[in-house]
A and B are shown apart, each in its own frame.
Chain A
Amino acid sequence: AQKVTQAQTEISVVEKEDVTLDCVYETRDTTYYLFWYKQPPSGELVFLIRRNSFDEQNEISGRYSWNFQKSTSSFNFTITASQVVDSAVYFCALSEAGGNTGKLIFGQGTTLQVKP
C-alpha cells in the first residue's frame, strides 16, 4: 500500500539555522515520483520539487536541498540558513506511475516556524 509519513509534526527554529524535514514513503511500484509542496499561511499549495524513482541524485536550489535515498525510502528536505518567510506547512507527496492517474498521496505535513 502506498503511504507517506512525515514524523515531525512541528519544528521551530531561529532564523539562520539549518533545518531538515523528514519524509519516508512506502510503495510497491518500481516507478514512482516524489514531490515537496509548501503551504504558506495563505493556504495555496506551492510546488517545490519532484524526483522520479530512477534519479537518486541529490538536488540543490538556492537555500533548498533534497536528499533522496531509495535504500531507506526517504526523501528529506533541508533548508539552509532559514528565514522567517520559510514559515509554512511543508508536505511530501508520492505519485505512483502504475495507476497512470498522477494522483498524489500526501504526508501529514510538517509545520515549520522560523523565529526572528
Chain B
Amino acid sequence: GAGVSQTPSNKVTEKGKYVELRCDPISGHTALYWYRQSLGQGPEFLIYFQGTGAADDSGLPNDRFFAVRPEGSVSTLKIQRTERGDSAVYLCASSVSSASSYNEQFFGPGTRLTVL
C-alpha cells in the first residue's frame, strides 16, 4: 500500500515569507507526527495529532509555527515569517494509534526547506 507522502520534496523560500508543508499519512492511521531534522542531527519532535486535534504541540519552537489536520487525514505545517534558522528537513510520520507508545511510526521522505 501507499506510504506516507510529503509535498513538496524541496522548498526554497526567502526570509520573511510564509510556507506550507503537506503530509499525507497512511490511510487509516489516526496518529500523525511532525519532526524537524537539522543537518547532522536526529529528528526533533514538533507536534502530534490524534485524529483532528493537536494532542501535543510542545515541540513547536515558537508561534510562527502552526499545524492543522482538519479532517483527520492530511496535515499541513505552516511557518510564518520564515527565518534562516528554519532551514531543515521536515519529516512527517503516522501510526495506527498512539494509544500505546509501542506503535511503530512510518516516516515520509521529508520536505527539505531552505530559507535564503
B60-104 vs A, Cβ < 8 Å mask (1 yes, 0 no):
000000000000000000000000000001010101001111111
Contacting pair A99 B108 (CB below 8 A)? no
- State which residues 79-104 of A face B: CB under 8 Å: 91, 93, 95-97, 99-104
Contacting pair B98 A100 (CB below 8 A)? yes
Bin the interface of chain A by size.
Answer: 20 to 34
Checking B43, B55, B99, B109 against A106 with a beta-carbon cut-off of 8 angstroms, the contacting residue is B43
Contacts of A104 in B (CB 8 A): 33, 35, 43, 45, 105
B17-59 vs A, Cβ < 8 Å mask (1 yes, 0 no):
0000000000000010101000011111100101000011001
Contacting pair B42 A101 (CB below 8 A)? no
Question: Is the C-beta of A64 less than 8 angstroms from some C-beta in chain B?
Answer: no
A40-67 vs B, Cβ < 8 Å mask (1 yes, 0 no):
0011111100101000000000000000
Question: Is the C-beta of A13 less than 8 angstroms from some C-beta in chain B?
Answer: no
Known A-B contacts A52-B102, A100-B98, A103-B48; the reply to A108 vs B41 at CB < 8 A is: yes
Contacting pair B43 A101 (CB below 8 A)? no
Bin the interface of chain B by size.
Answer: 20 to 34
Contacts of A91 in B (CB 8 A): 42-43
Q: How far is the CA of A32 from the CA of B100 in the complex (A)?
A: 10
Contacting pair B91 A33 (CB below 8 A)? no
Contacting pair A102 B98 (CB below 8 A)? yes
Contacts of B93 in A (CB 8 A): 45
Q: CB within 8 Å of B: which residues of A?
A: 4, 6, 32-33, 35, 37, 42-47, 50, 52, 91, 93, 95-97, 99-109
A-B interface, 4 closest residue pairs, ranked by CB to CB distance from nearest: A106-B42, A102-B98, A45-B107, A95-B101
If A33-B102, A101-B48, A103-B33 are given as contacts, then 20 extra A-B residue pairs at C-beta distance below 8 Å, sorted by A number, are A6-B42, A37-B107, A42-B109, A44-B109, A45-B91, A46-B107, A47-B105, A96-B101, A97-B101, A99-B56, A100-B101, A101-B50, A101-B55, A102-B100, A104-B33, A104-B45, A106-B35, A106-B44, A108-B40, A108-B42
